[in-house]
Structure 1
């Protein structure tokens, strides 16, 4: 006897409801709480569903090495905290790594100790060289692209997106220079952000800028749900942190240096807030007076997690460790062993799962070393806090 599709669908729905009511799920709550703190829905603290980042280095030429290092160090931190390349738009002149004056070809360092090559981790530059213009930046924010613009050059955010914008370069009172050729004003950026809000292109926006008189660049914002911070007040310069005498130039700015130093102790599930970051600002060490603007945000910085902007948002299904695996799950487990996935949620210990993953990669010839040597220097994906001399 064959039932109509509608009848079969109703029977399946009824069976699912009965099963859902009879299978206990209390054991899942502690595991989810451990993973996400008080957030047991797998969402970020404010309920947004995705994060995006726009990283802009508006300088070019060798003597602006530190601005490229600022941007690449921020890029590396975003990726370490879980944000995928597909959600990061990187605008970079990209003219220092292979510059003839670089004594360490194809590298960019943010510390004179050269503990970490910021250029050696498979970076993806979306706007390169002379593509980094005021027009391309404003079009990126507002989504007003030529139809031929590829997906990788678009900010595909929506009303549920938290957007992080980082800018560094040379600036002044209410302007930022782009490659010594043109300028973007505080009014331009404010109007572009307003278009983003009207077009439902963000849920919350975090704006960080490191340049001379940086705080004037967010002084014209008038759209809702914005938190902004800058490196220096009106009339102040923004200073580099230190020079590398081998490279011959400054390798990072002070404001960005101390932000990234703070981030090095954070993990993907950190509950650290923006207020805790802002409280670390020390004008005596930065040599300028950083600014903070929170009046446009309905949430105070003490209620906003850093990972609400610096990281990825993901839904996670946790399986009970005592559950017996059916044939399909066992096949998936074997597949994960060969691909290097962490199979701890499927009932295998974390260490054993990682061991199986590495062995599977070796068998398939696709193993990627956790550490790689380059010209006597080591490159690490994880945080360097606690390693010899760190990297800051």
Structure 2
């Protein structure tokens, strides 16, 4: 009996393999070989007047979680000094728009590196996998050659460098060499690199490793500007580029057909007041045909079959008394922006 069941399961497995060979990806999209998605989200600033930077990164964090990337595959690096800052009139909260629609520093935020752990050394070690042996799993980037990685950086930068907490800098060459180590060690399939700083495009100019698509909020010689002030908090609370990125991502869902080319065009100069830079020469696929969920979503392997499958008989269970009239409770992410009020903040 057990042997016949094993043979049956083996036959079905082989059937799945042959069936999947005939499944074609729609012509609009190009096939990706990745098997998992990761996100590395870093705010390199600290101090109260840089409130907008932590709002930037926490907003992106919330978006990728909503689209399916679990906390176990997100590395979040922030100084974590804003929510409980003595100057914060809204203790234990961080908002990304003046309407204070939602607290992006909610109960489900898992910070992996905080305070002075957000350093150049820890960032480079994280990317290259050269962490101390006693480093906990939550602080490791456990990627492989099938991983698509979203890297998002925000803070203060200049021509060829990004400051970390006003005490040190990572240069564009150091970052490029770290990504090359990742490629040589088979730590990624593709990378989407986003940076929101002044003169941001200078940070991807030295990249030389394959399969990297990069975008920046400003070109060399340009400043990356903030969007608006919350007068109740007293500081700028989000940057222009990230604001329009979030406005776009709020309309993206796990089954979305939006493409990377659409994402790369989210903030024209008329809106950003700086020129968004894009580098695509290292990226093999056409961004017009790459779904945005290849980087902002989660991989969900699906086996397609048109035949019914009955491997074992399901045992009958005793019926339990349930209240059929009760409506099941639904949980979903609230929108980050008050969509009906967006026109008043642009």
CA distance in 2, matches of 1:128, 1:354: 43
Determine which structure has more spread, i.e. the larger CA radius of gyration: 1
User: Who is 1:64 aligned against?
Assistant: 50
Q: Does 1:162 align with 2:114?
A: no
CA distance in 1, matches of 2:12, 2:289: 38
User: Who is 1:129 aligned against?
Assistant: 115
Contact 1:115 1:390 in 2 (8 A): no
Q: Please point out which of 383, 386, 389 is paired with 2:335.
A: 383
Q: Please point out which of 298, 311, 315 is paired with 2:284.
A: 298
User: Who is 2:127 aligned against?
Assistant: 141
Contact 1:52 1:88 in 2 (8 A): yes
Residues 17, 59 of structure 1: alpha-carbon distance in 2 compared, 3 angstrom cutoff? closer
Q: State the shift of 1:293 in Å.
A: 0.2
After TM superposition, list the pairs within 5 Å mapping 1:23-172 onto structure 2: 38=26, 45-172=31-158
Contact 1:79 1:85 in 2 (8 A): yes
Q: State the shift of 1:382 in Å.
A: 3.8
Give the number of equivalent residue pairs: 337
CA distance in 2, matches of 1:159, 1:140: 16
Q: Which has the higher contact order (CA 8 A, sep 6+)?
A: 2
CA distance in 1, matches of 2:316, 2:337: 37
Contact 2:33 2:189 in 1 (8 A): no
Q: Does 1:280 align with 2:232?
A: no
Q: State the shift of 1:245 in Å.
A: 0.7
After TM superposition, list the pairs within 5 Å mapping 1:331-350 onto structure 2: none
User: Who is 1:238 aligned against?
Assistant: 224
Contact 2:101 2:338 in 1 (8 A): no
CA distance in 1, matches of 2:95, 2:183: 36
User: Who is 1:314 aligned against?
Assistant: 300
Q: State the shift of 1:354 in Å.
A: 10
Q: State the shift of 1:315 in Å.
A: 2.2
Residues 15, 249 of structure 1: alpha-carbon distance in 2 compared, 3 angstrom cutoff? closer
Q: State the shift of 1:278 in Å.
A: 1.7
Q: State the shift of 1:50 in Å.
A: 0.2
Q: Secondary structure at the match of 2:227?
A: strand
1:310-353 alpha-carbon deviations (Å, 9 max, x no partner): 0111224689999999874876x99xx99xxxxxxxxxxxxx99
Q: Which ranges in structure 1 are unaligned for 5 or more consecutive residues?
A: 339-351, 359-368, 371-379
Q: Please point out which of 159, 165, 177 is paired with 1:179.
A: 165
Q: Secondary structure at the match of 2:38?
A: strand
Instruction: Please report the TM-score for the alignment, with normalisation by the length of structure 1.
Output: 0.77
CA distance in 2, matches of 1:275, 1:353: 47
Contact 1:162 1:309 in 2 (8 A): yes
RMSD: 3.5
Residues 188, 17 of structure 1: alpha-carbon distance in 2 compared, 3 angstrom cutoff? closer
Instruction: Please report the TM-score for the alignment, with normalisation by the length of structure 2.
Output: 0.87
Q: Which structure: greater helix fraction?
A: 1
Q: Secondary structure at the match of 2:244?
A: helix
Q: Does 1:256 align with 2:242?
A: yes
Contact 2:97 2:337 in 1 (8 A): no
